[in-house]
Amino acid sequence: MRCRRPALAATAGFTLLEVMLAVIILGGALSVLYRSIIVNVRMIDVSHERQEVAYVFSLGELEYPLRDVEDIEEDAPVDPDSSLKEGYTFERTVDEKEDPEEGVEDDGLYVVRTIVTWGEGRNREEIVRYLRKTK
């Protein structure tokens, strides 16, 4: 007597359509994952860069403090200094005051710009502060 075997062809594997659909779904998921990894790596780089800039700002403020400046126009400006950290330049400028209009009292404010540049001068971060000249 002959045993009748069940047909395995219909249940043995996936159809071409099912395989293609699985590959498309997997490819989409991997591309989303890859894109998120790239964005995260960029954010890590930007965060590290910002941290280094903040560090150079703090080194510059320690090296050239504004607290004990007597003559703002003479003592506050700092020529570009690249010795604080390799690849970064610290600089401070004091904008010249405009003469007040006639009949207006001089307020004694100075605009102090602290600038850190890096990447051969392509990148720049600036903090603007106002100082009042005490009489």
**Residue appearing with tokens 């004694």:** 108
Sign of CA dihedral 83, 87, 92, 98: positive
Tell me the mean pLDDT in the region 42-64. Answer: 93
Q: Please state the domain extents for the chain.
A: 16-132
Q: Which residues contact 115 (CB under 8 A, 6 or more apart)?
A: 90, 91, 92, 93, 124, 125, 126, 127
Q: Which one-letter DSSP state was computed for residue 4?
A: P
pLDDT higher at 121 or 80: 80
Is pLDDT at 121 greater than 90 in this prediction? no
Question: What ranges make up the beta strands (E) of 1-135?
Answer: 78-81, 88-95, 109-118, 123-132
**Given this model, what pLDDT does residue 96 score?**
72
**Residue appearing with tokens 């003559």:** 71
Q: Which one-letter DSSP state was computed for residue 86?
A: T
**Given this model, what pLDDT does residue 66 score?**
84
Is pLDDT at 20 greater than 90 in this prediction? yes
Let me know: does 84 contact 60? Beta carbons within 8 Å: yes
Mean pLDDT for all residues in the chain? 86
Q: What is the pLDDT of residues 80-106, one digit of tens each?
A: 999 999 999 999 999 877 776 777 777
